[in-house]
Amino acid sequence: MAVYAFVFPGQGSQSVGMGSELAQAFPAARAVFEEVNEALGERLSKTIFEGPTEALTSTENTQPALMAVSMAVMRVLETEGGLDLASKVTLLAGHSLGEYAALAAGRAFSIPDAARLLRLRGQAMQKAVPAGQGGMAAIIGGTLGQIQEICAQAGEGSILEIANDNGGGQIVISGSMDAIDKAVALAKDMKIKRALKLPVSAPFHCSLMQPAEDVMAEALAKADIAAPIVPVIANVTAERETDADAIRSNLTKQVTGRVRWRESVEAMSSAGIDTFVEIGAGKVLSGLIRRIDPEVSTLSVGTPADIESLLKSF
């Protein structure tokens, strides 16, 4: 019998039109998008379904939008498919903003609260560093040790840190733009397979995000957070968590901290997970997971057909 973890995607998985088939097919999915619209005081669903792309990729929209699509899938699985999350799924996890979706799925906080927190998180991260002063780069084919050495050399006198350890030889660095440029050149000198700057609007998950972390610390201190009904693997520790105060602390640290995705997947595999189900938009996490552990199965669930297929497997 399969042992399941549900995982929730982060920034980069968004596309205009995501979730629209769900909304057309299921009243339960439409209700989730309406809850998010009401929480934010605007029709974010229109941007999700119709674009334009520039509006959807603005981080203050992307973050609640991806959560909304993931939660629309969850709501359909539970209400239409009769899925009992606590008895069928062993662990939950999400990549960066996806951790909020994982926690909402586990009932740690409500969908409207998750939407408001993610809108604030996106705005605070965007404001933390003036446009053009910070950036991110993906380095593919280097070891963690090599990337740490690159960060130490290229970041001397400025800030450059590992933002995401995504596994499968993919590590993302984040920091001041001059340091990013030096790091990309250095990686090429070191004959690392590939190093490329990412089209992002801010240097996420590094200490330049401290102003945003301060904003989120204040917001999360006031947020109503409960123990999730299924343990959630935290990005910053790669360990399972059910304590509400620890979740609050982890989400705060996550703004400047490293997303330990490789370690998170390894921890889930070690706990006996053999089937990872990506809930929401895209298939990014499924690809990363298969590179981290080729022995496990992955499923991506974002459409009515995907939902039907998953429910048959339980």
Residues with catalytic annotation? 96, 205
- One-letter amino acid identity for 253? K
Q: How far apart are the C-alpha atoms of 102 and 155, rounded to whole Å?
A: 33
Q: How far apart are the C-alpha atoms of 34 and 199, rounded to whole Å?
A: 30
Strands of 297-301's sheet in order across: 240-241, 232-233, 89-94, 4-8, 275-279, 297-301
Q: Where are the beta strands (DSSP E) in the chain?
A: 4-8, 89-94, 134-140, 160-167, 170-176, 194-197, 232-233, 240-241, 275-279, 297-301
Tokens of 276: 């990872």
Q: Each residue of 3-40: b (16+ CB within 10 Å) or e?
A: ebbbbbbbbbbbebebbbbbbebbebbbebbebbbebb
Phi/psi of residue 5, each to 5°? Answer: -120, 140
CA atoms within 13 Å, Cβ hemisphere of 24? 9
Taking a C-beta distance cutoff of 8 angstroms, is the pair 187, 180 a contact? no
